[in-house]
Amino acid sequence: MSNALTASPPSSRIASLLQARIGTSQVSPYVAKSWDRCLNRYSIEPDAERRTVVLDTASVRARQETLGELLGVARAEMENLYEQIAGSGYAVILSDADAVVLSAITDSQARRDFRGAGLWVGAVWSEQHEGTNGIGTAVAERAPVTVYCGEHFRRYNAGLSCCGAPILDVDGEVLGVLDASAASTADTRLVQSHTMALVSMSANLIARCHFLGRFRDAWVLRFHSRAEFVGLLHEALMAIDDDGNVLAVNEAALLQLGISSRAQLVGKPLASLLPLDMDTLRRHAMHEAASLWPVRDIAYGRRFFANARAPMQRRAATAASIKRTAPGTPAARRHVGGDPRMQHNLNCGRQLFGRRVPILLQGATGTGKEVFAKALHQAASWADKPFVAVNCAAIPEALIESELFGYTRGAFTDAAREGHVGKIRQSSGGTLFLDEIGDMPLALQTRLLRVLEEHEIVPLGGDAAIPVDLHVISASHRNLLAMVQQGEFREDLYYRLNGITLELPTLRERTDKRELIQALLQEDVPDGPVPAIDDEAMERLLAHPWPGNIRQLRNVLRMATALCGEDGRIGVAQLGREFGDTPPGQPPAVQGDGGRDEATNALGTAERDALMLELERMHWNISRTATALGVSRNTLYRKIRKHRIVLPG
Ligand SMILES: Nc1ncnc2c1ncn2[C@@H]1O[C@H](COP(=O)(O)OP(=O)(O)OP(=O)(O)O)[C@@H](O)[C@H]1O
């Protein structure tokens, strides 16, 4: 790649410059193809001002729900990936197949830079909107891509450096993209290629979990030409029905068999590809589940090593496992745990909210504030009216006002023709849940206060006040009182929202972890029995510090369920690297820079525990934790990395 290209972003003469470069060795073929699409198919003007399109919260939620179980698996893998590249200025991002960002993990210090660069949940990064970029181009090319600085088609994206890899579904279609992006980076191409390799591996791992989860109730043949690769990331997977026909294969199976399209395999009898009938496959799966056996393909006689897995759900039905309770999961029923603080919160919250007292929920991220708010709504006499959630941190500042207060027809240039009622009016009569209220801009705090005091709202561009009947629950992981004291949050609004404050305990503090683990497992297996957990695995789960709280626990359990062994049981091996082979209560193993010894001895354990306690006390605010501990922020980051503490996303 020429220096001129990496140094100078696209300019107004880009069309002719790019046209000249396409087809030369100066750009990689996929970047050239993407530029061509941007110029000739989408007619994008490279020098235009940024106008990142951002979807509203409801649309984002709907898209997240479409991904279903995959989102949990992806989130767990994103955390692993983030841990590996933390501190290097990257955000880890997940988009769906339309290149809409659905989840992101960013260092809180860099969040502003990423927002400035248009990388936030709900933003649309398709090539049509943003030109050549790591997410949109990976979708278009159906392949991993690195888009470095000036390779971005739009001039305003030239500060970005992105590595995107598609996550393919069982039919080989793009399900989403996993991406690592830096808003300002001094990384060389070499460092980038390392990041790209990690991103591709993680995307493959997510796709593999998706495949195994999707075909839980089928026979699965795993094979590879090298015995040591069976059971690992690059193994070939083939799902087979009871009649011995191929249901699906992954990309690695196509590579191993040297076949270019799934159509040549799917629907074919297994016996036409490999000399295996169903009786032989059954015998291998039942009696040799743990061993590898050689097999040659019929077409070319190439040797593979293979292993077969029987349908898990049917096998698990005979294994010791817990039966599901009645279907459906009203939020209220989810709080069955016997933790005394949660019981107090629930009793107190139900009584007061039922009498229209505004509730403020405080608790670290992932402690279940939204689930708790829904439980209060469902217990109220207005449970049949809408529960409307607004995440003030997920909506760009410029959109919060119209999202919340609505606008009238023609209120501003882009206003939809029919106007927009806004979340506050939508919730009228039901419950308005203001999540991450601490992130609401001060100017809007004033407007919200007026609505709460006067029980009426004036939409943007309108002049008539409309009455609203509000029941408000707000939540924040930040200490709102401290924000009031620092002048970052309006005191009068704080008292208006805070009829009572309920503090949700961290998962680490909860005494009902065992019940919660069982409840989460049951919720995640829609039909049939849930996997049972080995004693050792349960001990490790109970001893874990859980910085990401219930969200992290849920991710770990989803991943473990997807990776569940032949017998439908979860053992330590299914829990992931963090739970390693260290005995319960010990910190997980640390790799590299000689940290292992220090992190696993008693002093290391004590340091890790002290860090965790302080971080939790300071609601994961790095600056305040560093001040409290009397160390610099850099030192604190170094220690967080050394102990492999995962910062909540
Ligand atoms: N009691 C519960 N039972 C089952 N799942 C729960 C429970 N509480 C939380 N969860 C799960 O944990 C995850 C996080 O929950 P939730 O979004 O309510 O947390 P939060 O505190 O609002 O997080 P954030 O601060 O990031 O907004 C979700 O996947 C949710 O389904």
pLDDT digit string (tens) for 459-511? Answer: 877 778 889 999 999 999 989 999 998 888 999 999 889 988 999 999 999 99
Q: Which residues line ligand 1 (CB under 6 A)?
A: 334-335, 363, 365-371, 435, 477, 519-520, 550-551, 554
Q: Between 521 and 632, where is the model more confident?
A: 521
Q: Is 647 part of any domain?
A: no
Given the CA of residue 335, which atom of ligand 1 is nearest to it? 1
Q: Is 63 part of any domain?
A: yes
Q: Is 472 part of any domain?
A: yes
Given the CA of residue 372, which atom of ligand 1 is nearest to it? 18
Cα separation, 441 vs 455, in Å, equals: 21
Query: Is the domain of 228 the same as that of 129?
Result: no
- What is the extent of the structural domain holding 374? 340-503
Query: Is the domain of 177 the same as that of 223?
Result: no
CA–centroid distance, 365 to ligand 1, in Å, is 8
Given the CA of residue 365, which atom of ligand 1 is nearest to it? 25
Q: Is 432 part of any domain?
A: yes
186-197 residues labelled b (16+ CB within 10 A) or e (exposed): ebeeeebeebbe
Query: Is the domain of 497 the same as that of 371?
Result: yes
> Last residue of some domain: 475, 503, 531?
503
Q: 141 is written with which tokens?
A: 């090319």
Given the CA of residue 374, which atom of ligand 1 is nearest to it? 18
Query: Is the domain of 380 the same as that of 497?
Result: yes
Query: Is the domain of 28 the same as that of 139?
Result: yes
Instruction: List the residue whose alpha carbon is closest to atom 16 of ligand 1.
Output: 368
Query: Is the domain of 123 the same as that of 52?
Result: yes
- pLDDT-derived band at 29 (thresholds 50, 70, 90) equals confident
Tens of pLDDT, residue by residue over 405-424, are: 887 765 555 444 556 788 99
User: Would you state the torsion angle of the CA atoms of residues 37, 43, 44, 45, taken in this order, to the nearest 10 degrees?
Assistant: 130
Residues with Cβ < 8 Å from 235, sequence gap 6 or more?
222, 223, 224, 229, 252
Task: Find, among 240, 56, 48, the residue nearest to 157 by Cα.
Answer: 48
Q: Is 237 helix (H, G, I), strand (E, B) or coil?
A: strand
Query: Is the domain of 189 the same as that of 223?
Result: no
Query: Is the domain of 20 the same as that of 134?
Result: yes
Global ipTM: 0.97
CA–centroid distance, 360 to ligand 1, in Å, is 16
Q: Is 589 part of any domain?
A: no
- pLDDT-derived band at 290 (thresholds 50, 70, 90) equals low
> What CATH number should be reported for the domain holding residue 136?
3.30.450.40
pLDDT at residue 186, rounded to an integer? 61
Q: Between 284 and 516, where is the model more confident?
A: 516
CA–centroid distance, 526 to ligand 1, in Å, is 18
pLDDT at residue 140, rounded to an integer? 96
Tens of pLDDT, residue by residue over 49-93, are: 888 888 888 888 888 888 877 888 888 888 878 877 776 678 899
State how far Cα 13 lies from the chain centre: 39
Q: 402 is written with which tokens?
A: 């119209």
The average confidence (pLDDT) of the chain is 80
Tens of pLDDT, residue by residue over 439-464, are: 888 888 988 998 888 888 888 777 78
Query: Is the domain of 286 the same as that of 346?
Result: no
Provide the residue type at 645 as one letter.
I
DSSP-derived secondary structure for 415-456 = --TT-B--HHHHHTTSEEEEETGGGS-HHHHHHHHHHHHHSE
Q: What's the structural domain count of the chain?
A: 4
Q: Is 511 part of any domain?
A: no
Query: Is the domain of 154 the same as that of 63?
Result: yes
pLDDT at residue 361, rounded to an integer? 96
Tens of pLDDT, residue by residue over 610-635, are: 777 777 666 677 777 777 776 767 67
